[in-house]
Structure 1
């Protein structure tokens, strides 16, 4: 497929990041939902609505032609409107999505490392996320130091402590 680079996400990346939110939600192709159904769900759309508001940060992976192929971003949520992986005020929750044809090529890991650097630079000491245990990304998060702090019926809330 070729190489890729990671760059900081900009406000102009909002639509692509919406695409990656859909990819993240549709990780299990046997349960895939249409884009409109995912982005019309306020529990999901909150992860991208109004991108880039104060406190948002993210990274985009681009291929050798400059075409976006994956994204990871962090967003803060208040306790009265938490995300699925909310653990505390001031702990950004991550979203990670990679185009299917680019998966298992190190892009997700590179995006996680980039977002970790951005979070440290912004003064955050932890990152959180929610992931279904059957999702192949669960292994990636564990390998990058995320630990399970809460388990639901089929998903885990995970946290990484930034060093």
Structure 2
């Protein structure tokens, strides 16, 4: 397996983010964000972008966008190019977000996803558990309705941060 380099992204990485998002999200569900939404969110001080790039390549294969609200972090977006799936990149991104969230004082990491999204197995393996459901939250292009599932993962407190 190729080693993956995790780095902090900036607005300068928007082309790579959009390339990954366009390939990773199923257009039938309308879950992908547009460039303006991503850049708008990235302009906030409590939001961070993480990129995952194989060390034998210059182009990122995955990204995660997250934010901190007081003592809770939210994983807003996570995407891995379909051609790069199955190599552990998604799990590396989840752990990188969790580490950064913990370092910023978050006690838990939350996310929301469409029921039926194949990434549920990734999140369950990474320690997330379902804590809520929003009925008929997502609507597909065919007007089908799908519940949103809210997941959370406790992060604990880093003993080095406690005085």
Alignment TM-score, normalising by the size of structure 2: 0.73
Aligned-pair CA distance for 1:92? 2.5
Aligned to 2:60: 68
CA distance in 2, matches of 1:130, 1:50: 17
Q: Secondary structure at the match of 1:134?
A: coil
1:32 Cα offset (Å)? 6.0
Paired residue secondary structure (1:61): strand
* Local SS of the residue matching 2:72: coil
Unaligned runs of 5+ in 1: 78-88
Aligned residues: 143
2:152 pairs with 136, 143, 159, which one? 159
Q: How does 1:74-113 map to 2 (within 5 A)?
A: 74-76=66-68, 90-94=71-75, 95-113=77-95
Structure 1 or 2: more strand by fraction: 2
Equivalent-residue separation in structure 2 for 1:50 and 1:56 (angstroms): 7
Query: In structure 1, which of residues 48, 51, 55 is the aligned counterpart of residue 46 of structure 2?
Result: 55
Rg larger in 1 or in 2? 2
Deviation at 1:67, TM superposition (A): 1.1
Q: Which residue of 2 aligns with 1:8?
A: 8
- The answer (yes or no) to whether the contact 1:7–1:59 under 8 Å persists in 2 is yes
For residues 48 and 162 of structure 1, the distance between their equivalents in structure 2, rounded to whole angstroms, comes to 27
2-structure distance, mates of 1:130, 1:14: 23
TM-score normalized by structure 1? 0.73
Q: CA RMSD in A?
A: 2.8
**CA separation of 1:93 and 1:15: change in aligned 2, threshold 3 A:** farther
Match of 2:160 in 1: none
Structure 2 unaligned residues grouped into runs of 5+? 136-146, 157-163
- Residue matched to 2:116: 134
Matches of 1:20 and 1:106 in 2, distance apart? 16
User: Secondary structure, in 3 states, of the residue corresponding to 2:124?
Assistant: helix
